[in-house]
Amino acid sequence: MKSVPQISLEEAVALVKDGDILLQGGFGMTGNPVHLMHALAETGTKDLTFIGNNVGEAGIGGGKLLRNGQIKKMIGSFFTSNPEAVKAAQDGQVEYELLPQGTLAEAIRAGGAGIGGFYTPTSAGTELAKGRETKVIQGKEQVYVEGIRGNVAFVRAWKADMAGNLSYRMTEQNFNRAMATAADIVIAEVEEIVPVGEIAPEHVHTPGSYVNYLVQATLTTEDLGSSASVSSSRKVSETRMNMAKRALQELKKGDVVNLGIGIPTLVADLITPEDGIVMHTENGMLGVGPSPKDGGGAMDYPVNAGKIPVTALPGSSYFDSADSFAMIRGKHVDIAVMGGLEVDEQANLANWAVPGQPLLGVGGAMDLASGAKTLIITMTHTNKDGSAKVVPTCALPLTALKAVDMIITDLAVFRFIDGQLTLTELMPGATLEEVRAKTTAKFKEALTAK
């Protein structure tokens, strides 16, 4: 049986050279090899190309390397979780490339599997497709993305044996599993190293053939950043809750459902185990339950895509980000409920960026919008200045083309019926005249009696 060397943090980070491409596992600070990142921040290694879902948090994980000026370029899906990464990009201090979260995960999996690249419908027709080759496959426009490999990968697992077999805890698989396949040197930071045989074969998530070195490092609450605990104080307006309640009416027993941040998150608070709805979170979990009642954090609980600790309902399962987005693109998620900035008459969605600002945080929005069987958008009917959000043509950067099935606002419910935007309901307190006055898109009226 192979024996993988156990080395110190100092020995591990010495394997990273100036100009290397560094893959870093983790989703936020969950499953993040934070001790390896902090040890690397103590070195003079520079000009790194950093690849990860996000660049840690301010001063934590990859955020330390960024603060030190050790990162030349960052490639990821959601830089906006670190304000210092946003500022560095805006000021031109660091180069960056933004990829949809599922595309990033699949590119890493492809690189690890020796596949040169792949076509995906995610991002077709959007700003992120510009400059990329596209092709119509099975009647759908798809975007070509090259596989990703690195010189060194830092991953975090909960347990390893001396043969390098890795086992992950809860939602800590995320990007770690794919990244452990996609670098010349793979260094696994682990909580515990056990003798060969103590991890049952069926509990090995990453086989030891991928792993070159092991480093033992104990996780603390401080290493988890914003996921360290749950805050229970949240005030919700009646208007927002009404939209969440209306969205809940669309969910049926047995549906696999993904909820975006903002108003959609409120739907989760309304779902009970008796509803039989299976909640999906794109960082690798089916069967998401409510927030922990004891205020506990990611040391004891899984986290959702908002990096908030949640509970696991009976029958839950964990998997990695690549499998999660394969689930989404493969139409195994029945309904996605997402927020919106604009929806137009052609069922196009804009919900992730505004003109004139760097494109720094798309996350899983594009994958979900184009991949879920049904897409429901919840949003206020107008912007703060009174301008319409249900419009003839989206002016904001697009998230997905012809993807929206239903819109729920504080004033109205619209459906796309036979391709036509159709008003089907008024929300509590709203009038038809008000909806007409505040909607610039053309729509058919087919109000149902209540």
| Residues forming the active site | 282
Residue indicated by tokens 């480093």: 215
Report CA dihedral (158, 161, 166, 168) to the nearest 10 degrees: -20
Token pair belonging to 53: 């879902």
How far is 58 from 286, CA to CA, in rounded Å? 30
CA 104 – CA 235 distance, rounded (Å): 35
Taking Cα atoms as reference points, which of 6, 4, 3 lies closest to residue 217?
Answer: 6
3-state class (DSSP) for residue 93: coil
- Distance, in Å, from the CA atom of 174 to the CA atom of 176, rounded to the nearest integer, reads 6
Kindly state the tokens that stand for 375. Answer: 């897409």
d(CA 198, CA 74): 38
Per residue, what are the HEC states of 21-61? EEEECCECCECCCHHHHHHHHCCCCCCEEEECCCCCECCEC
Q: Tell me 326's DSSP state.
A: H
Q: How far apart are the first and last CA of the chain?
A: 69
